[in-house]
Amino acid sequence: MSRRKSEKEYEKTFACHFFRWLDGEKDPFIGQVEMQQQEAFREGEGDAERRLQEKNILLNQIYGRKKSRSIRNLERFYKVASVVFCGILIYLLLLTVSFLPPIGVAQRPINNEVSARYIEKGLQETGAINIVSGMILDYRAFDTLGESHVLFVATVTVLILLRMDKGKKDYAGVSLEEVEANDRRYEPKNDAILQMAAYLLVPVIIIFGVYVILNGHLGPGGGFSGGAIIGAGLILYLNAFGFEKTERFFTEKTYKRISFCSLSFYCIAKSYSFYTGANHIESIIPKGTPGAILSSGLILPLNIAVGLVVACTMYAFYVMFRKGGF
C-alpha cells in the first residue's frame, strides 16, 4: 500500500480492485451482469401426496408391478445381477491394467509398424490424399460404422423420451396440436429480416456442406463436419420459414428412409470390402487416380452416407426438442 494515500482512498483505486479480483475476494459478475438467482425449492400443499400418487401410478400402470409376480422377481434379480456384473467388470479391467507394459520403455506396443504403415503406404492402399479420411473410413471403418450407429441410437433414445403422437392427450394434459399452436410464441414469427437472410444463406451453407463432404478424401473435411454444416443450414431454414415449409421435403418418413438407407449401405459396403480383404480376393471397386474427385474406392460413398446420417440426426434432435415430433 502506498504511504501517501489513506486506506479509504486506496480502496477506490484501480489497483485495489484489480488485486482483489486477482485474489478472488470479489466476483466481478455479481451486481454487474444481469443474473437471476434460482428460486429455492418450496413444496406446496399436497405436493408430497401427489408425488406419491404419481409414483404409484408409474409403478402400477407402466411397470405393472401389481400385475404379475414374475416381474417383481425379475426386478430383484436385476438389482443383484447388476451389482455382480459391475463387480466382474471392475475386476476384469483391473486385471488388464496389471498386464499393461511399464511406461517409458521403447518396446511398448504403441511403437509398432501400424502407424508407420499408415504413413508410408496409406496413399497407395486407400487412394485418399487426406490420410485421416483414409484411416477412419478404410483401415478403421468398423469404428466409424459404430460412431454413425451411435448417432442413430441417440436419436432413437431422444425419440423415446420426447416423442408426441398425434391425437393423444397423455402428455401432462397437452396434445401435439396445442404444442404446435404454442410453438411460435417466442420464436421469430415470419420475421422479414431473418427470412431474407435465410433466403440468401441457406443455399450457400448447404452447398458448402456438400463440398466438405465430397472433398473428404482430398482435403480437410468429411462426413461428420459436412453433415453438421448441412444440419445447421436445415435448422436455419426451419427457424426462418417454419414447419410448413420444411415438412414439404423433410418429414419423419424422410428421416427413416435416409437413416436406414445410409446405415445399411455402409454395413453392406464395408461387409463386402472386409470379405474380399479377409479372403485375399481382388475387390471390384477401382481405386482411381489419387487427387481426382472420383477416387479412393469406397471412401467417397461412405463419406456421403455418414454425412446424410449426421445431417438428419442434427435436424431431428432440434425438431424433437422444439416440438416433440416431426
Partner 1 sequence: MAEWLCLIGGTLFLLTGIVIFAIELYGAYHYHYVLNRMHMAAFGDTFGIGVSLLGLMIINGVNFTSLKMLLVILFLWCASPVSSHLIARLEVATNEELETHMEVEQE
Is 294 one of the binding residues for partner 1 (CB under 8 A)? no
Phi, psi of 30 (to 5 degrees): -70, 125
Q: Is 210 in the site for partner 1 (CB under 8 A)?
A: no
Q: How far apart are CB 225 and partner 1 at their closest, in Å?
A: 16
Residue 206 · residue 214 · CB < 8 Å: no
197 lies in the site for partner 1, by CB under 8 A: yes
- Contact between 201 and partner 1 by CB under 8 A: the answer reads yes
**Smallest distance, partner 1 to C-beta of residue 189, A:** 10
Q: Rounded to the nearest whole angstrom, what is the least distance from the CB of residue 185 to partner 1 in the complex? A: 9
Report the site for partner 1 in 19-38 (rule: CB under 8 A). Answer: 28, 32-34
Ramachandran quadrant class, 112 (left: phi over 0; alpha: psi -120 to 50; beta: rest): beta
- Judge whether 297 and 216 are in contact, CB under 8 Å: no
Q: Kindly indicate which of the ranges 44-52, 168-176, 199-207, 209-217 contains the residues binding partner 1, using the contact rule CB under 8 A.
A: 199-207
CB of 201 to partner 1, least distance (A): 6
The amino acid at residue 306 is: V
Choose the stretch contacting partner 1; rule: CB under 8 A; options: 65-73, 75-83, 188-196, 222-230.
188-196
Name 5's Cβ contacts closer than 8 Å, sequence gap at least 6.
13
Considering only residues 193, 278, 284, 294, which one is a binding residue for partner 1 as defined by CB under 8 A? 193
Q: How many residues does the chain have?
A: 326
Give the number of residues in contact with partner 1, rule: CB under 8 A. 13
Which lies closer to partner 1 via its Cβ, residue 198 or residue 308? 198
Q: Minimum distance between the CB of residue 255 and partner 1, rounded to whole angstroms?
A: 27
Point out which span in 40-48, 75-83, 194-202, 247-255 binds partner 1 (CB under 8 A).
194-202
Q: How far is the CB of 318 from partner 1 (least distance, A)?
A: 16
Is residue 220 at the binding interface for partner 1, with CB under 8 A as the rule?
no
Write out the residues near partner 1 by the rule CB under 8 A: 28, 32-34, 186, 188, 191, 193-194, 197, 200-201, 204
